[in-house]
């Protein structure tokens, strides 16, 4: 049995799809379906059960889960809205919940993999998994960093695998429910379909129009990293999950235009409310990941966006 929290979400549902392709269907999905549209992410997948997030945590704390049958827990459930500033909610959801689940797993020696985030680096120019480079710009990034800091205290004594994956800018299928927090590739695709143009921010932070850069990773590649650790239970730690490349928003927009064979870019003023809270550059340092033995290759924006838009077009049919 495998448990995936946030299983109806973006990375979670893609992880379940990949597990299904490996012949694994004894999967318990844990989520909060208050946003009922997320059911679509599960409708074509094979799972054995579904539990509401609060029901699941209560069962874990009471010890009423069949711990002896659980082979791994993938904790992907979280509030990932970087514009959310209710700190009390964010810490309760992303930090306190994670701590309780973490201790239940380590107590029963169950491999525990969880979603951290590149937002832990914030305004840093160095994206190496070390405390001196961790400078979150928002409460979301801080909630993820605080859990990373908490987990670091237990690596030396844990008797089972603990993996924190700092996902960079993930894009791909099954993200439409994220609305404004969906990837720029998703938004650019829809802008191009509706208006024939794609809107990018004007220059900011020393970057020219649309030249802000991110490490964009296709969701299938992010999932492949996640499953690599499941196949290597002897490896623990906090690792970057990115491509090791930094590409511009202009490149993402041009990949969409190239795929659809029409469209243009329009630059709009940089929002005042994002000043000082926006990462203009990210690039995962993959030295630690490679050093652990993970030699996976990752798609470029051009390749990943083409594959993603082909999938999106199929949904319109």
Q: What are the residue numbers of the active site?
A: 140, 178
Contacts of 44 (CB under 8 A, 6+ apart): none
Gap between the Cα atoms of 139 and 310, Å rounded: 35
DSSP for 277-294 reads: S---B-----HHHHHTT-
Q: Compute how many other C-beta atoms are within 10 angstroms of the C-beta atom of residue 195.
A: 12
- At residue 253, the 3 state secondary structure works out as helix
Q: Compute how many other C-beta atoms are within 10 angstroms of the C-beta atom of residue 44.
A: 10
Gap between the Cα atoms of 279 and 157, Å rounded: 35
E strand intervals along the chain: 2-5, 27-31, 49-52, 72-75, 112-117, 162-167, 169-171, 197-201, 213-214, 216-218, 237-241, 247-248, 264-268
């Amino acid at each position: 049995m495998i448990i995936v929290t946030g299983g109806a979400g973006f990375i979670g549902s893609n992880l379940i799809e990949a597990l299904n392709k490996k012949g694994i269907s004894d999967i318990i999905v844990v989520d909060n379906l208050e946003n009922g549209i997320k059911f679509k992410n599960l409708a074509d997948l094979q799972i054995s059960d579904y539990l509401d997030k609060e029901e699941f945590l209560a069962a874990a704390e009471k010890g009423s889960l069949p711990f002896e049958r659980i082979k791994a827990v993938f904790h992907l459930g979280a509030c990932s809205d970087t514009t959310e500033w209710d700190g009390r909610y964010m810490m309760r959801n992303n930090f306190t919940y994670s701590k309780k689940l973490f201790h239940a797993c380590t107590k029963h020696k169950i491999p525990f993999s969880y979603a951290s985030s590149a937002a832990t680096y914030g305004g840093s120019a160095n994206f190496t998994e070390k405390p001196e480079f961790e400078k979150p710009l928002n409460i979301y990034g801080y909630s993820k960093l605080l859990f990373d800091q908490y987990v670091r205290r237990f690596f030396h004594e844990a008797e089972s695998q603990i993996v924190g994956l700092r996902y960079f800018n993930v894009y791909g299928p099954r993200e439409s429910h994220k609305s404004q927090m969906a990837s720029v590739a998703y938004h650019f695709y829809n802008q191009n379909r509706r208006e024939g143009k794609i809107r990018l921010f004007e220059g900011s932070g020393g970057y020219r129009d649309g030249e802000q850069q991110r490490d964009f990773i296709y969701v299938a590649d992010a999932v492949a990293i996640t499953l690599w650790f499941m196949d290597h239970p002897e490896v623990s730690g906090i690792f970057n999950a990115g491509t090791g490349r930094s590409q511009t928003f202009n490149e993402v927009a041009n990949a969409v235009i190239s795929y659809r064979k029409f469209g243009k870019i329009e630059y709009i003023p940089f929002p005042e409310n994002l000043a000082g809270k926006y990462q203009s550059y990210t690039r995962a340092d993959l030295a630690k990941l490679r050093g652990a033995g993970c030699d996976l290759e990752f798609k470029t924006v051009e390749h990943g966006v083409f594959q993603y838009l082909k999938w999106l077009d199929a949904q319109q049919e």
